[in-house]
Every structure is written in structure tokens, then in C-alpha cells.
Structure 1
């Protein structure tokens, strides 16, 4: 493909999946010229292959299978060289045949590190003259081939899903290789469903599904009974050790037997894992076992090896032959948004019914309802203006909503930090240093009562420090990971670019500068937490003082925590755990985990009750009573009740209506240059900041009403 800014044909709307530029099909004379150039280049370079691998002797069989069928499932034994050699077989086979210029191959990898390392390996084997034909594209990093035509691009599944948004038929691509398809993560299952559509719309496209194991016959049936090709490999003998043998070898007593239910729920003993690694390092022969003991599939690739399994041998027989696909055990909100991007006119239930292992329809409906509750989908399951912006964000929809709102309320930087840190923890969290991390979080949280502001303070402080020594001292003081913080910074850059794609920013670099207008209110921590509750709602916790023990004793100093779904506990990783001086009776949170029948909240922030009233999308109902005040309730949310004088309630209602109108108005416009609401919007945000900063969020009453006696009407 070539790129011509003056070309206005339909293909100009399609993005080249290799280069990311605008796509246009090659004209006949261009294809001829490029084909001749590629052939002469390959003939002169005569690229070598390096060491002989088992798959090399099956080159012609692989090429013939792919030529004969649009989709091929290939079962290739681990260690035979499938990942590095088969893509090259296809590229070289096409370049030496007639359709050279049309040959562009995408190879997906489940992890970014494998995509990068395999691309480097293949480029090195092809030599200096052809290295420019090979590239990679992963999250936060991209080095594509110099141009389309005779190109090979390694990429993660998530990146290919994004490419399908702007090129659903994969025009200009000759082959897609989905490697490690047996891992069955959510993105891979979504990709397979979309490739079914792509091959119908693009009959020249060839799809090769490579699996080391797994239920390959089901894959074949999914693609209309496509052929399954077996390529044998060779594995050196591997000696397997299970928990009993491992403990005996280390001179430790064998643990007591557990019943089946206990075996399912038992968590991995991280101390034992560390001790086993140390044992292998100290006692096994050098070279033979280094990284030849992480699992059986790796241990015998190059020489005889050992595999260590930290569960009893009998438990192996009770394990499932194939793992449960991720799509059947994970929240579906992000998947549904992806489905709406690719197939906007399909109902979520109908689209997900087409994947290889369809989730239960009721689970899908619950996820759809959740997206409707946060304003991402409307009643007809269409993306709302908010949903269209959230769909641009490469993160959880609730975090995406918070990021979108942060642009409207000019507090982008701290919310970027929070979203990135909730994706990658900046702390060295382990069983050994848990106490140190808790102490560090408590110091960083201060009076904010917020895990999320801890993240923001960590990122901003680390960025402001100059010099390697001062940065390292900061990392050591607060038990932080420099590698994680660098990755977090990259995520923040990506989320900033997402905000640009959503039309909310002019330049992504501006959102990372604290002095930017986009961060005018980034130092207003009450507002930042208000934006978080606006994004994360209905993730809300009510805090009550006083608990009753199982023995019936009342403990007035203890705190209890409750969501609409029932009681919860704060996880030990939260800075708010054990804090008796929370400044409000309301907390918001992002993630929760269930363990041993209890729900633990991993992160939380105290939020001002007025932030909940003014910035969430909740429905309100007013109820008069005998007293001069009015009660305001959230239907379906029995935790929440306010009591206001009629005059104050009227003023707050006007402010709430104005703020929501400002949000809706901004989201309906196309780009940041036209979303400025001028003085009116700025005054609204400034008024909200003043209100949050100058009203008491915790009047000290044991009742569940929020007092507004200290709100002056002139401030509203």
C-alpha cells in the first residue's frame, strides 16, 4: 500500500495495519515495481536461518496447507521453533512467488515481551539488508516495518483489536497468525470472533491459528471445519516433582492432607515459592536448571530438565484438561464496549453468543445494565456521547469515565496517575515488606484518607525529583518500584493520547504538565476525589461507628463498612484500614476481592457527600415530612439519605442540574477547541471547588442525615 493525501476514495478512510498510516490499495504498476524490488532484495541478501529447528523440515507442508485453505489450525509442539520460523516461511514463500508486494503478515503474541523479543530474533536472523521488513507494536512501544509490502509485524492481541476498529476487513494484510491461541484470554476470543467476519469480507486473507495444546477440534469447527495440521517437535525428558517430593528434597515435613474444597480455595504460599527458587538456584547443577524449572513446557526445550509443581500429585488428576476460558470468569463490561465499537448495531447478548465459549446470557445482561448505570450505554444499548469517549480509553470503563470527567473539570494529571497505578501497583508489595508498604502509604496519605491520592502524590513527587540519587532515595524511603513507576508514566502518556483520540484534548503532552490549563484544579484534592466518585459510582461504601461482636459485645470505637450489596472489609493494602478518623462517612472504591466468603476493598477514598449528590448520575426523589426540612433519597440505594431546608435543596438542585448540563454539553461537542464553555463553565467548577472545600463533610452526628447548616446561600 501507498499513502496519498490527495486520494479521496473510500479506502482513504481505512488505516494501514502495518504502518498505521492511511491505506490505499496498490495500483498495478506500483505492485509490479515493488514486487520486483522485493525479489531482488531477497535474492541479494540470501538471509540465513541460524540453527536448524524441528519445524524447518515441515516448511513446504505448512506453506501448502495455508495456500489450500483460508483458515488453518496448526498444532505445533512446544520447542520446535513455530513462533520464529513459521511467519518467516510465509513471508519468504510469498516474496519468492507472484504476489510479493501484497504480502503483509501480522503475528499476535499474548504478551508484549514475547512480541518484542521474537521480532528482534527474527530481524536478527534475516540480516541487516532485510531487518527493516520486521517490526513490532505493543502497548506503549511501536517500531513497525519501514513500509508495507513484504512486511512482518509482531503485535499483541490488544493492539490488533484496535487496528480492526479502523480496518475491519484487514485490507492490505495477506496473513494473520494467532500464536498461543490455546491460552484463551478474553482478547483472543474476541479476536477470533472478529476474524470470522474479516475472512468473509476479505477472501484474500489467510488466518493461521497456532496452538501448542488445547481443544483444536473445537477451533476447527468454529471456523467451519478448517483443516488441522500437526507439526511434531522434540522435547527432552523432564523429571516432574510434586509438592511431596519438593518438600522431601528440601528436608521439610509433608503438610496434612486437605479435602477437595480446601484444595480449591488454598492460596499459593509465596514464601514457599521463594524458598523453592532459592533451593533450585543453590542445589541444582549450573546451566541445566537455570529458568528450566518455571514449568514443564519450558523445562525440556534445549536439554533434560526438571519441573516443580507446588501441589500434591493426586490433585493433578482432578484438574481440568483445559483451563476455563477467561471470558467465562471475568467481568464483561470492557468486552461489551469492544463489541459495541466493532459491531455497534448488534446486541451484546447476540455478539457474545458468537464467541467460541459464550458467557451466560444473564451475566451479559448484568454487565450491560452496569454500563447503563454509569451512563456508557443508553436504554437501546447504543454508546452514549460519554460512552463514545470512554470507548477510546484503554482501561476499565469506570476509570475511563473518571478520566473523561477529569478533562472537563481540569484535573487531568492526578486522575491519570490514579488510573495508571490501579493498572500497575507502584509499591513493592510482598508478604515480606507488607508492614513497610502500609507505613509508607499511611505517611503519604496524611489527612486525605485516600489510597488514590497516595498514588497521585507518589507519581508527582517522583516526577519532580531531579537526579538518579534523589529518585532512588525516594523509592527506598517509600518501598516503591522504579520500573513500575516508569511503566506507569508510559500508561499515563497512553491515557493522555486516548483523551486526544476522544476529542477532549488538543495535545496529550499538556495533560502531563501541572502548570497546564488542563490541570488548573489538580491541586484541589476534594475535587479530584469528587471526579473519582463520579466515575466509580455506584461503588460506594457507608461507614458507621460502633460494631457488635459475634459474642454480642458492643464496641463503640470500631468501624463497620457496608455497600448496597452487603458488609465489606478494607483490605490490609488500603491506607484507610484501621483509620478511626475518617473525615466523612462515605468512601468510593475501584476494586474488591472475595476471599473465604468475605469481600475486601483493596483501594478507597473518603468523599464529600455533596460530591455524591452533585456529580453522580443517580436519580433522586424528594420527600417532605413534619419537620421544616426535606429528606432526599436515592431510590434503590437505601444507604443514602440527606436532609435539607427547602431553600438549600432548591439551590443545590440548580447547581446539580447546571453541572450535569455542562458535562452533557461538553461531551456532545467534537473537540477540545470547541468544548470550552467560557466563563460560565469555569465559574461552575470554581463554585463546586469552593463548596467542597468549605463545607463540613462529617457533621459528627450518628444519624444518617447530612447537615447543611454551615452552607451559606450566597456561596450557591
Structure 2
């Protein structure tokens, strides 16, 4: 169904037919999209086709997190994200107000879509009148049909124009580009050492020997390509993403091909930025001559750029995965699937015949997977588990076994364990009062707990800003070529606080102050500090380490603070502990969004029970786990334990009986919270990290 107009037309066909049949007043069509931008753009396109406006009183609208333009309640089409649909199902699991449900782009197999698909299998027997349509341009339809008890499926021929395909060998011949031989070929002993440490690399090199090398020999036998091309193809480096080759191919298209825009697919921002710099600094691309769009996989679906004739497919895509063995999220570029490749190719043939250049060999294409691995097999599952409990779907493991492709049981166990540590579920998988509230928040449970604590301690505004940014979108915009300027502006907002979270709080505070003096002043502040006023508005509505600083986590050993962080270049910290929102492995293990944390807040708000004991030297130690522990006197430890216990009791009581914090002097909760605040702000010198010193000035200070 590639290029057949399914996303914009199917819902309209249904609505028009229902109106003609006299059932318009009972027709309410909901069409889900995996991305916010798709839901908005498709809704606006459909409204335009119907000669209407999008939203109130008209037949078409959209709803995404924090933003909506709802259509009329009946005889209408609503485009929304899958998460919005799931929120409705918490209060109305059978979605009784929906007559037709269209789940689009399900080939992407994101967690929420698979979750909804699983729930719907149980809903349909209760709602025989509900019409469910699963749609995708590249889909193993038989697989989905079998899951839904062999339901019927149809294939609609696409209306794309023919697209001529070229592969890496063709591109190298066309551009005369030569791939440089790297250390992999020149230092075989080093490679052998490296391969022993990395089984994945061993597998890749073995694949290269088994598939690519015979392919090169076959091409040599056929005599179709020059010796230089064959030499480049025989190098392992030919399988790496090469932005210089992309730039050379782009220039070749501009010089030798007819009119038409060029759409280039790259894995992420770093590659986009590098290519943009190469193109702009080369001086070979006059402006106003040809449109060149550089994008990630987001341009594969839903959004059509009408004048694209040439597609350059780098063959790589960044996929977020979850390493169950090491309990860490990863974000690394990997080979596209055949489904991705077909989508990318199809972008070149929407309005006229086109050309697609794949920057991988024909042999590599034969090794590509057919479809992407479902996200549920490569993600943490805490949020899914909380939704299972909220929807009263029973025990977690039996439900997840019903999913079309069930997740690894080890991943389920890890997520259950974390939720128990957070006190979100008990040992029998029942939601605690805290877990109930965390499940209702559209955030990961750690961020949700931060919000609840922020409410208790009456610092809601800054915490909401931080939470919204972590869970929704970074307010900072990084224009190509302006990366250093953005970093300087963030450092100025940090004002030495050594916290990415508080940088956002400061930005929000200044913007709100200036905005109150006039929208032009707020807009100018956003322009000066590379901030998105739109994102700040939405946030408000929701209320490689260069200096070799040694940063470690218990699970990973040495890690890096991400270059985007204001702490990345810091050499001195008042405390040896950092808290972070996200740990992600790409070129290294990076900590994102870090804040320096002192001992007492860790003892009061960290996860794990407070214990006091004497070590082998006879010194008193207070701890909450094997990593967070401090030398501490017995009387100080006793005070902390009592306050922590009472704080835990208060948190439970507040969650079960929500209400405004009573800070008055005769209030028990006020006395407790003030005592904790006074202790934290006094920076009590009686508590010291075990075996560590603040402000060590050597290169390995922590």
C-alpha cells in the first residue's frame, strides 16, 4: 500500500460512506499516528482536502499531548497519537464512543501500538460493532491476520511512479569516489585483539568475509566495474557511513541530473550537521538552484515532499535498544530493514519517475532483515507495566505473553524490580497509591515521582518545567553551524550551578519575566538564547568528557557526561555524586541531564532503605545501597532514619489523601518538611562520603 494515499483517504472514504448511508451522526473515526508531527500534518491535509478548517465545528481535527484541535463530536475524523488512545482506554476500555478505529503505520511496531493491538484483541468480542483497520505501507499482513484469528486483509496497489535503484558499487563508479583504507586493514593484529573483545564486531567481519567478498569477486568476474571500485568494495570501511561520499553524490546529482529535489536519509543529528557543513563550505552549491532535504527516518512516512525526485539512502538508522544483559539503553546506528528501504525508495516516486541511491552493496541488501524488530523487544517496560495494572489486565507476565512478539522475560523482571524499588507496585504486583498516581502521569515513573515530591515540597513550578522537558521536548534549538554559540548561551544560563535541569528552570524564569513585559521581549530572548518559544509555552502549560573527569556508575564503570550538558566541561564538584535522567550508549555510555547531588538529599530521596552500621575499621556508616554510603555518627544517622521514615509515611498519606501541604508551625507535616529542608540546606558536615573527598583536584577526581 505504498503511495496509495491510505493515510489521508481511508478515513475520508469511511466518513463519506457513513454519511451517505444515514449513519453520519453515529460515526466517529479515530486514526492513530506514531508521531505528533504526523497527526497534525495529516489532519491539516485532510481538512484542506475537505475545504474545511481543522478543529472546532468541522469534520477533521487532531489531538496530541499538550495540544489539540478537536473536530465536532460526531460525523468526524480525529487524528491522534497512540498514547492519546491509550489514555482514553483507561476510563473506557472498550472505547464506546468510537465507531471506527484506524491504526496507521503499524509496521513500525512501537511499544504503544503493540500494546493497543494486544488490548484490542480482547475488546473486539465485547464490541462486535467496532470496526478496526490496521494500515501500513510495508507490512507482513499475514502475520497480523493470523494474530487476529485469520481476519481478512487486502492489498491496495500503490500509485507511485517507477523508481530506478542504484547501489554502492554504482555510486562509486558514478562519482569516482575512493574509500580510504583504515586501521582495520593496516593493523590486523590490532583488529584481532579488538575482535576478541567484541563478539558483535567478529560477527560483522565474518559476514563481510562470507557475503561481501564473494560479491566483489563476482563483480570482478563480470567486468562491470573499474578496479578502483572493486578495491573500495573489498574494504570493511565500505560498510561504514561516509558523509564525504554522500556530499560527492549530491554534487554529482546537481551537476548531471535534471530538476527535482534531493532527499537524503541519515541516522541522526551529528551526521546531518556534518553533511550540512560539507555542502555549505564546499562553495559548489549555488542557492536557489535545487532543494536538498537532509532528514532522519522521520521522513519515511506520512509526510510527502512533492518535488522529491532523488533519494539518497545511507542505509543506516538509529534505533533505541535495551541491552537486557547489562540493563542499559543503547542508541546506535544499524542497518535499515527492507521495509525501511522500500519506504525511502518510495519517496522518490510520488509525483514523477525518480532515482534512489542506496549506499550499501547489492550483497548487503540480501542480508537486511525484512522488518524492524518490534520496539517492545528493545525497550524498558516500566510504563507498559503500569498501564497494564491501570487497565486491570491481570498479572504482567501472562498478559505480555499474549503480545504478538512477547518481550524477553528478563526485561519484564528488570522492570518489575525497578517498580518495586520505586514503591510503585508491591510484591504481588498490586499498584500502590504512589504507583496509581505514577501510572496516570504521561511520564516515566522516575520523573513522575519527582513531580509528586516537588508538589509536596512546594517547588512545583521549576520541577514541572524540568519534568516536561525530560518527557516531552528539549526547549533549546541547535541551528546547523551554531553548536558552539548554543553551548555558550547554556553556560551563561547555568550561572555556575552545574545542573542541566536548572539551566532550563533559569531559561523558563527569564522568559516568563520578559514575556510578561511584552511578547516581543520574550520572543527576542528566545532568539538570543536559541530557545523555542513554542516549546517553552508548552512546557509552561504543563507547569565524551573533554577534561577527563572520572565519572562512574556501578553497572558500567567509566561513563561520560554528554557534550550537551553544562557539566561536561566542569573540573570541580562540591559533591562526588551526580543524578541523571537518562543513560544512553551510542559512541560511549553518556549521562544526559545531570545535576550535582549532595549527601543528605540522596539519603532522604534516594531509593533503598536507610541503614547504619560500623565498618571493619569501626567507623559508623549510613547507606541506602552499596554505592551511596557515608561516614556518619550514630546520633546523626538515627535522626536521618527517623525523618526518612516519617517522610515515607507522609508521602504515602499524601498520595492516598491528596491535599495542599500545610506549612504552618503547629502542623506535623509542616514541622517535618521544614526540618528536612533545614538539614538539607545546612550542608551538614557530619555526613561524608566513604573513602572520598570533596574537591579532589587531580584528573581522576569524582
Q: TM-score band, normalised by the shorter chain?
A: 0.7 to 0.9
Deviation (angstroms), 1:288: 7.8
Deviation (angstroms), 1:135: 2.4
The answer to whether the aligner puts 1:449 opposite 2:498 as a matched pair is: yes
Moved more, 450-459 or 464-473: 464-473
Given the alignment, which residue of 587, 591, 608 partners 1:601?
A: 591
Residues 162 and 615 of structure 1: is their aligned pair in 2 closer, same or farther, counting only changes over 3 Å? same
Cα distance in 2, alignment partners of residues 82 and 395 from structure 1 = 32
Contact 1:561/1:569, CA 8 A, preserved across alignment: yes
* 1:414 match: secondary structure: helix
Q: How does 1:530-609 map to 2 (within 5 A)?
A: 559-567=549-557, 568-596=559-587, 598-609=588-599
Q: How does 1:339-488 map to 2 (within 5 A)?
A: 339-344=388-393, 346-422=394-470, 423-429=472-478, 432-466=481-515, 467=518, 470-478=521-529, 480-482=530-532, 485-488=533-536
Deviation (angstroms), 1:182: 1.4
Deviation (angstroms), 1:341: 1.6
Deviation (angstroms), 1:610: 0.5
**How large is the RMSD of aligned CA atoms in angstroms?**
3.4
Deviation (angstroms), 1:696: 5.1
Contact 1:564/1:638, CA 8 A, preserved across alignment: no
Residues 488 and 353 of structure 1: is their aligned pair in 2 closer, same or farther, counting only changes over 3 Å? farther
Cα distance in 2, alignment partners of residues 704 and 437 from structure 1 = 34
The answer to whether the aligner puts 1:319 opposite 2:310 as a matched pair is: no
Deviation (angstroms), 1:290: 4.4
Q: How does 1:63-142 map to 2 (within 5 A)?
A: 77-97=1-21, 99-127=23-51, 132-142=58-68
The answer to whether the aligner puts 1:144 opposite 2:132 as a matched pair is: no
Contact 1:239/1:305, CA 8 A, preserved across alignment: yes
* 2:155 match: secondary structure: strand
Residues 439 and 248 of structure 1: is their aligned pair in 2 closer, same or farther, counting only changes over 3 Å? farther
Cα distance in 1, alignment partners of residues 607 and 628 from structure 2 = 14
Cα distance in 1, alignment partners of residues 525 and 442 from structure 2 = 30
What's the CA shift string for 1:5-49, capped at 9, x where partnerless?
A: xxxxxxxxxxxxxxxxxxxxxxxxxxxxxxxxxxxxxxxxxxxxx
Contact 1:621/1:633, CA 8 A, preserved across alignment: yes
Cα distance in 1, alignment partners of residues 640 and 53 from structure 2 = 69
Corresponding residue for residue 536 of structure 1: none
List runs of 5+ in structure 2 lacking aligned partners.
Answer: 185-200, 206-235, 242-266, 293-304, 313-343, 695-702
Q: How does 1:508-519 map to 2 (within 5 A)?
A: 512=543
* 2:627 match: secondary structure: strand
What's the CA shift string for 1:118-163, capped at 9, x where partnerless?
A: 3233334334599723322222222223233x23222221111111
* 1:587 match: secondary structure: strand
Q: How does 1:167-182 map to 2 (within 5 A)?
A: 167-182=92-107
Deviation (angstroms), 1:164: 1.1
Corresponding residue for residue 124 of structure 2: 199
The answer to whether the aligner puts 1:221 opposite 2:271 as a matched pair is: no
Given the alignment, which residue of 604, 607, 615 partners 2:605?
A: 615
Deviation (angstroms), 1:83: 1.9
Deviation (angstroms), 1:242: 4.6
Corresponding residue for residue 356 of structure 2: 307
Corresponding residue for residue 3 of structure 1: none
Contact 1:629/1:646, CA 8 A, preserved across alignment: no
Moved more, 204-213 or 462-471: 462-471
Cα distance in 1, alignment partners of residues 485 and 158 from structure 2 = 48
* 2:573 match: secondary structure: coil
Cα distance in 1, alignment partners of residues 309 and 688 from structure 2 = 58
Moved more, 307-316 or 369-378: 307-316
Contact 2:501/2:595, CA 8 A, preserved across alignment: yes
Cα distance in 2, alignment partners of residues 97 and 361 from structure 1 = 49
Q: How does 1:49-60 map to 2 (within 5 A)?
A: none
Q: How many residues align?
A: 561
Cα distance in 2, alignment partners of residues 607 and 119 from structure 1 = 45
Contact 2:307/2:351, CA 8 A, preserved across alignment: no
Corresponding residue for residue 630 of structure 2: 642
What's the CA shift string for 1:191-223, capped at 9, x where partnerless?
A: 101111221111111111112112110000010
Corresponding residue for residue 672 of structure 1: 659
Cα distance in 1, alignment partners of residues 606 and 596 from structure 2 = 15
Contact 2:612/2:637, CA 8 A, preserved across alignment: no
Deviation (angstroms), 1:301: 1.2
Cα distance in 2, alignment partners of residues 486 and 84 from structure 1 = 27
Contact 1:390/1:400, CA 8 A, preserved across alignment: yes
What's the CA shift string for 1:254-307, capped at 9, x where partnerless?
A: 455888367888676334543688769876599984486383222211112233
Moved more, 79-88 or 624-633: 624-633
Cα distance in 2, alignment partners of residues 193 and 255 from structure 1 = 49
Moved more, 300-309 or 259-268: 259-268
Cα distance in 1, alignment partners of residues 53 and 397 from structure 2 = 50
Deviation (angstroms), 1:409: 1.0
Cα distance in 1, alignment partners of residues 80 and 353 from structure 2 = 32
Contact 2:62/2:80, CA 8 A, preserved across alignment: yes
Residues 339 and 250 of structure 1: is their aligned pair in 2 closer, same or farther, counting only changes over 3 Å? farther
* 1:211 match: secondary structure: coil
The answer to whether the aligner puts 1:293 opposite 2:311 as a matched pair is: yes
The answer to whether the aligner puts 1:183 opposite 2:201 as a matched pair is: no
Cα distance in 2, alignment partners of residues 459 and 312 from structure 1 = 49
Cα distance in 2, alignment partners of residues 391 and 291 from structure 1 = 46
* 1:200 match: secondary structure: coil
Corresponding residue for residue 688 of structure 1: 676
* 1:230 match: secondary structure: coil
List runs of 5+ in structure 1 lacking aligned partners.
Answer: 1-76, 495-511, 513-542, 544-556, 707-716
